[in-house]
A and B are shown apart, each in its own frame.
Chain A
Amino acid sequence: MASGARRPKGSRARKPSKPEFARTLANRHREIEPELIAAYRLEAPDETDRDPIKLLEVNRETIATGIMPLGFPPSPSRGVPYATVIVEITPEEFEQVQAGRLKLPRGWRIAEEIPLNVASR
C-alpha cells in the first residue's frame, strides 16, 4: 500500500515478508541511530521461515565486545511480526568478520547488505 493511502475499513495490513521487514527494521534503526553505518542480513546454514530475522549492524557508537547476539521476541502490537536477533559491532570488528578473524556463531553467514536510507537522518 502506498504511503498515506487509506486502507478499507476492517481490512488488515499484509504481513511483510522477512526480507521486507528486515529492511524496514534496519532503516528504522538507522533513523534514530546516525552512527549506524551499515546493516546486513544474516542467515543460518539451515535457515527456515520460522527462524528469527538476524541483523548484523555496524555501529560507530557501540562498544567492541565481539559477537554478542541479542534476541527479541515478536511483538505484533508494536508492529514487529517476527522474532529478531541483533548483532551490533564496531567498524573495526566488521573488518575482522570480513577477514575471518571474528567468527559469527552457529555457522551464520552474511546473506545480503541492506541499503540504508541516509536521508532518514
Chain B
Amino acid sequence: MATPQEWARGYARQALADLDAWQALAATDLAACQSLHFLQMACEKLAKAHLCATGNDPAGLQTSHAFGAKQLPTIIRDELTFEKVKSKLRQDILRYARGLAREIELLAPSVDSAGKRPDNCEYPWEDATGKLWVPVDYAFPVDQLLLHPHGFKVLKLIRRATERLAA
C-alpha cells in the first residue's frame, strides 16, 4: 500500500506534467481555455498533493474539483515565508495570489460560486440574460491576472512548490 508521501509525490509529478502542458499550449495560438484547463488541473493536483501528505484518503480527494482557492495561497505562502525579499512585497504577492487562486478554481465547471460564475474552460454556459457562451470564445479574467507582474511571480512559486514536492 502506498504511503501518504508516495501519494503526495505522485500527485505533484502529475501536476508538473499539467504545468508543462499549460506552458506548451499557452505558447501556441490555441484558445486560452485549452491551456487554462491544464493550469487549473495542475493547481488542483498540487493542492491534493499537500492534502495527501498529511494522510488524507487519496480516493476521497479524487472526486472533487473545488481545490485551489483555499489551499493554493497557503502553499504560495510557504514558498514566500523564507524568501529574502521585503515583507511588504511578500504581502502584496500573497494578497494577489488569493484573488488569482479563486479565479483559477472557477475555471473548473463544477465550481460556479453558487451560480454567479458559470464561466469555465470546458463546457458552454448560459449567462443570466440567456446568452450562450462557449469557452473558446471567452476572455477569462484569470488570463489578465496572469499577465500582471505579481501573477507571473505567483506562477513561478506554484511551479517551484510543485517541483519541490515531486522531487
Contact = CB atoms under 8 A, between A and B. Distances in A.
A16 interface: no
Interface in A60-117: 61-63, 65, 68-73, 75, 78-80, 84-86, 88, 106
Task: Decide if the interface of chain A is mainly helix, strand, loop or mixed.
Answer: mixed
A13 to B, nearest CB: 13
B87 A32 contact: yes
Nearest to A79: B82
A34 interface: yes
Contacts of A78: 82
Nearest to B71: A70
Nearest to B92: A32
A70 B74 contact: yes
Interface in B1-43: 4-5, 8
A59 to B, nearest CB: 9
Interface string B57-85: 00000000000011101110110111000
B50 A70 contact: yes
B77 A32 contact: yes
A15 interface: no
Contact of A31 (B69, B74, B87, B165): B87
Q: How large is the interface on A (under 10, 10 to 19, 20 to 34, 35 or more residues)?
A: 20 to 34
Contacts, number: 67
A113 B159 CA distance: 33
B56 interface: yes
Contact of B74 (A73, A80, A88): A88
A68 B51 contact: yes
Contacts of A62: 70, 73-74
Contacts of B45: none
Nearest to B89: A32
A37 interface: no
Contacts of B78: 72, 84, 86
Given A75-B164, A85-B54, A33 B82 contact: no
B157 interface: no
Given A31-B87, A70-B50, 15 more contacts: A31-B90, A32-B77, A32-B91, A61-B98, A62-B70, A62-B73, A68-B51, A68-B56, A69-B56, A73-B5, A73-B164, A75-B164, A78-B82, A86-B74, A120-B87
